[in-house]
């Protein structure tokens, strides 16, 4: 019997439908059976094979995760080391152990040994696209940055996968992946396929 993966996308803010579409396309290209759906309550976390944390406003997402009970449910799975997670932009911030210049309005999941800086590339009007080199990819990747954070520092088991000059914009620690940019806003499926390879 072929196993069907269950992949959730946190449904608070961000390009939720775009992530779902990209993940479904990645599953199709990989000839892998899977359901991709919006997660809105803590009970759904227990049965997931993987989770995506989209972008948005990190303060709002953090508050809603905690209010809904999703925060503790995700944290439990992180501690059990059995839930692959991909966080993009604000999702990257939430996965960090430390947030520079934090005003205590964000409760990070502390899933990765890294420090991030929010909005490090500027506000909405400073959004941009940039060709970056990602470790393991055979060609450059056109990354979309919108009010993007940077990963200022990593330690322990956290590994940098992509940089702009010396600024880390993609990192991995075991089964958790953090990106400063938005892979769901491009037709290039390689990042979602990379994450899928972490699941199966």
Which are the catalytic amino acids? 89, 182, 184
How many whole angstroms separate alpha carbon 118 and alpha carbon 152?
10
How many whole angstroms separate alpha carbon 149 and alpha carbon 59?
13
| 3-class SS of residue 24 | helix
Burial of 137 (0-12, 13-18, 19+ CB in 10 A): middle
């Amino acid at each position: 019997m072929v196993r069907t993966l269950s992949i959730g996308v946190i449904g608070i803010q961000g390009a939720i439908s775009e992530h779902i579409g990209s993940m479904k396309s990645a599953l199709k290209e990989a000839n892998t059976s899977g359901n991709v759906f919006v997660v809105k309550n803590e009970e759904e976390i227990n049965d997931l094979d993987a989770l995506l944390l989209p972008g948005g406003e990190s303060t709002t997402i953090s508050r809603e995760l905690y209010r809904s009970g999703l925060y503790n449910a995700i944290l439990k799975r992180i501690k059990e080391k059995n839930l692959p997670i991909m966080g993009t932009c604000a999702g990257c911030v939430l996965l960090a152990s430390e947030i520079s210049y934090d005003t205590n309005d964000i409760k990070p999941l502390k899933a990765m040994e890294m420090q991030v800086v929010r909005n490090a590339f500027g506000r909405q009007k400073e959004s941009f696209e940039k060709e970056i080199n990602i470790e393991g990819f055979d060609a450059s990747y056109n990354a979309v940055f919108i009010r993007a954070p940077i990963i200022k520092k990593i330690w322990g088991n956290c590994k940098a996968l992509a940089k702009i000059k010396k600024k880390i914009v993609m990192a991995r620690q075991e089964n958790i992946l953090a990106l400063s940019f938005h892979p769901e806003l491009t037709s290039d499926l390689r990042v979602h396929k990379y994450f899928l390879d972490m699941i199966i």
